[in-house]
Every structure is written in C-alpha cells, then in structure tokens.
Structure 1
C-alpha cells in the first residue's frame, strides 16, 4: 500500500502487534492482541495504529489507523489553493456538514476512521468555526493529513484522507518541500479559488498566474498514471460575495442538492467557467483544461465575511451572524460520484464533457 503521508509503498503487516496511544504518557505503546478474543481484537484494532516504516526515511515518525487497509482502496483528497483562498474554512465546513448527515441524501454515512485525529480536527477547527470564529491559515511545513474519515455507501466502505497544507507550501518550488508530497499519492483534488470583492472586478482584469494551481497541475501530470483517471473539482470559495452577481446568484439560492444530476452539474460547471473567464482568472481554469473528469462549483464555507473583533487593528475575526455554509458538499459529492462511492447512471456521467 502507499502511505498517504510519506507517499512510500510498503507491504502492510498482518502481525497481531498494534500501537495504542497512551493519553496519560502522550506516547504510542506496542500491544500484542493475539491472546484477546476476536471481539476485543477487532475493537482494539479499530482504536489502534500501525507505524509507517517510511522506507525512504525522509519523513518524521507517523502512524496510520490499524484498520486503514480493511476497506476499499483509500481515497486521498488534497486541497490546492493560494494563501488565504479559504481552503481550511471550506474543508472544515465540508467535514462538519458530512458529519451532520449532509451526505445521507446520497445514502452515505460518515464516521471517523482515526478517532484521535478527528477529535483534534474538531477541537481546533470545527468547534471554533461553529462558535463563529474565523480560522487561522494553515501553518507552513505541515505534512500530516488533516482528517481521515470512513464513508459507507452504495459503493462500499472507504477511508477518505483529506490534506490541507499552507498555500505558501503549494507555491514553493523547493524540491525537498515535504508538505506538498500528498500530490504523489492523491487520487482526487479539490482546487480552491477565491474571488476578489465583485465591486473591484466589474471589468475583466488582465490574465493572472495562479502558481499554486499551475505547480500542482504540472506535478500531477508528471505522475506515471498521468491525468487520465484523476477526478478533480474547482471550487470558487467565498461565493457569498457574489450573491447578487450572475451567474453565481442562481446557484447559491439553490442551496444543497439532494440528488446527483450530471446535466445540472455540467450547467454549474459551465457557469463557473464563464465567470472565471470573464473576470480574467483564466489561469485558474488549468485543471478543467487538463483533466478528463472535472467539475466546477460555487461554494461559501461561512455564508459571509468575518469582521475584526474589537476594531480593525485586531487580527482576530468573527462571523457576527454565525456561519451558514452554502453548497460546500457539492465538490465532495462530485468527487464521490467520479470515484464510484456514489453509484448510478447519473453518477457515472459526472465530470465528463
């Protein structure tokens, strides 16, 4: 199997020794579960870990859930976008909505595969987001996955690993930059683009470079498998700023969709394409022009802008009216349709011309 964190391939061990995390001593402890009953073994494995051997020796010590390979082939989804594009807010809103049953319309349930990782993600991001606090940008140098979920649906049970790294790391040209290594093993990508205030973009601007998109596309194209089977989406975040701007306005009014309709998804993709082309953001259309299966979506993680707390000079920001995510699951639904987690005739056509 390929580790999503270090991107090394190695044979997954089948011995009865797993690592359990000792909260009191803040350390992993090796435990032989061979003498336990089958029920206890299964329970300990569900809560345990296996250390990745990292054959290349180029990544700090890291662990994967002990049941990581007990399901269908893991789905690794990376978020790609410039600094301050809203990747963290989008991922937080997306995982929150999935946990609130947002995928049940597609007969998919959501659970944590890595209990400790998800608890950390919830305390650091979801809890703060639900309180209306604006989230800080991702720190540079992060190599670990943000969260690992277990999705159960018509397409089976499948681990889904999400990576959210700093935009500065995605724009880095350093060959030894480890933070963007998830691109080696990603089998789906969500490209995140944030529009400027529409009042400042009434006229098409001169075409600009989107370095995070460009570098990621080139690296993904350079993989042995190329781009033939890699599903991607482009999410225009902070679209609440476009609530009165066509064509975004009509999609935002629809809210969350409750069924997969390839024709509707194609129509939204066409409108997003037109919008990005109109404002001079053609460089952000690289994924659509490169990958054979691609969808484009208008989304808003919070439903509005955060304002400084206690005055403009304060760096802390708060969503005064609370958070109201709009269509944040649509990029994920498209990915799940394109990877077979959501099944059916319509799902099989998602992302195709």
Structure 2
C-alpha cells in the first residue's frame, strides 16, 4: 500500500461549520484512553498494514479557520468517501428526538436498511461506542432516556454503503431549548450551517400552544430552523426533509395512524405509499391544531411525513431506594423508526432508482 500526502478535498466541518481543505499530511491523531486526550502518530514510521489500521482508527483535527470553537477532531477517513451527509433532529423540548434518534441508529445497525441495499457501520468507532453505551444500551434495557441538555450535542457518525456509494452520515440531536434560542452565536445549533438534511420531530398529541379563541399555533423550534436554513440556501433547495410524528403508539388504534403502524418498516421503497402516508400525517396534524408544525412541508421542495414510535409504549416510574426512574414496562418495541431516514436517504441518493427520485415530491 502506498500513501500519498497531497492537498485534500474541500470539506465543511459538521461541528464548527467551517470550510477547509482536508489535511493529508503524514501525521494523524489517536485517542489515548488513559490520558483522555489525542496524541500524534507519524504514519511514515509504520508498516503498510499498521498504517492502514491506524488510519481507520484515528482522527484529524479540524483547523477551525474561524478560531471560534474548542479543538475538535473528525475520523481520519471522513473525506475518503462520497459527499458527507449531515442530518439534524429538530423539535421542541420533550418531542421525542433523542428516543427516535437512538432507535433509528440501533435499527440501522441491526440491518434494518438492508432491504433497501444499504448497510451501516461505524465511521468513528470511539464515538459510536460512547453513543451505544450511553444511549442504545440503556434504551435496550427499557430505560427512558434523558432529553438533550441545553448546550450539548449528542452525535454519532455512520458510514452507509448503498447503490449510490459510501457516504459518511453525521447525526445531531440538539436540545429544544437551544433550537428555540435566537442567540446568533449559539454553537449548539451551528450544525444547521452544514446540514444537508433535517428530520423535524412533532409529538403525536402535543399541538403547539395557542392561547385565546383567535390565537395561531406556534412551533418556534421549527420556525427558527426553517428561517435559518432558508437564509443559507435561498429557498431551502437542496435540503432533504422528513417529518416524524413521534409517540404514535398512542394512536395505534386510531385511523389513519393505525394503518401505517401495522406495516412496520417497509421492505420496499414505494413513493406512492410514502406520499399516501404523508397525506395522512398532514391531515392528522392539521386536525389536532398543529398547523405551525406543518410549515416544513410547505417550506421545502421535498418532504415526507411519517408516523413513528421509538419505544412502542409509555414509560412508567419505577421506585428505587433513593430515586425514581422511568422505564418502559414491556421493553422497547420501535415501530417505523427507519421510515424518516429511508426517505432522507432516497432524497439524497444513498438509495437510488426511479422510486427514490420521486420520494418527497408533491
């Protein structure tokens, strides 16, 4: 194996949103678990086999040209594949973003996308192990997950391989409080500057508050994100959008959600079915008075709506000696959590073909 160290491709960092030429010098960084820090490794001193293995498990520091972020690192192989996808979860506090993201990533790792010709693996092994330990493992034990904390960004980076090639996919889960902040320099929402796709999350029985007989419902998380994305891209063109009606297990016996929840995750991509589900979800949100939560459908050229349930049921309090914790008493039974991601992958070319080209269109 021969390694060259020439000028790299232009990339946008998903963390700080700066554009820079990907460094291809002979030095990478590896994370030292004992020191809890990154240390440099000179690739030229390694054999070909060790060089390949080291690169796969190492990082390169983002140069952060703007100089306004703490030091941060991306997988050394981040720029070795197709154009990266950056998917953000947008929703109000307690809308179910963290549970949906956890269930979605878990199902992808369990092979849930194979029916569409897509496989998932970790691009950042250390980051994924932290996500697995802190979120997936707790979720699988039936524990309700804490919501995203203001100022924090929980992410995982997958490598998805499909008919359209291999693409790194970075997920962002930002607290609803941060999403509703109007602070221009809010670093937690900076991922919107690099976002190529957004999953808007609306709880099934949580219409935005509207006080008074003539009041209009309001969803500030959606509205501020839409305005920011439109300001970046002109009219939102090029942004793939899906909407997830979360906690839909509460609607399992009610039409039109019952029809879709019985289907679970689809094994084939059918644009007509996605359009029909989008129509039903749109009608449902309109019926419960969540008109403001329908703005993503109107604001972006391609958008699909889906009924989903991350847990399959309600969490109940369990009393321990010194504290109470919320658990799902029957365990977790995710339903249709991959549907929003499948639509996003079809809109962005990870899933290709005639049906994929029609997904999200009116």
TM range (shorter): over 0.9
Instruction: Specify the alignment match of 1:30 in structure 2.
Output: 40
- 1:341 and 2:350 matched: yes
What do you get for the CA RMSD once the two structures are aligned?
Answer: 1.7
Determine if the alignment matches structure 1 residue 163 to structure 2 residue 163.
no
SS state of the match for residue 319, structure 2? Answer: coil
Q: Aligned-pair distance for 1:35?
A: 2.8
Q: Do 2:235 and 2:300's aligned partners in 1 also have CA atoms closer than 8 Å? A: no
Q: How does 1:1-353 map to 2 (within 5 A)?
A: 1-143=11-153, 146-196=155-205, 207-310=216-319, 315-353=324-362
Q: CA deviation at 1:139?
A: 1.1
Secondary structure of residue in 2 paired with 1:57: coil
Deviation of residue 328 (structure 1)?
A: 0.1
The alpha carbon displacement at 1:195 in A equals 2.2
Distance 2:151 2:70 in 1: 12
Structure 1 pair 205–108 and aligned structure 2 pair: CA distance change class (3 A): farther
Q: TM-score, normalised by structure 2?
A: 0.93
- Range with greater deviation from structure 2 (218-227 or 247-256): 218-227
With structure 1 as the length reference, what TM-score do the two structures score?
0.95
Partners of 2:214 and 2:140 in 1: how far apart?
36
Cα deviation for residue 153 of structure 1 reads: 1.1
Tell me the secondary structure at the aligned position of residue 44 of structure 2: coil
Q: Which runs of 5+ in 2 are unaligned?
A: 1-10, 208-212
SS in 1 for 2:90: strand
Is residue 233–residue 294 contact of structure 1 (8 Å, CA) maintained in 2?
Answer: yes
Partner Cα separation in structure 2 for residue 314 and residue 255 of structure 1? 35
CA contact (8 A) 1:308 1:314 kept: no
- CA distance change for structure 1 residues 2 and 308 in 2, over 3 Å: closer, same or farther? same
Structure 1 residue 113 displacement after superposition: 0.2
Q: Does the 8 A contact of 1:205 with 1:279 survive in 2? A: no
Q: Which runs of 5+ in 1 are unaligned?
A: 199-203
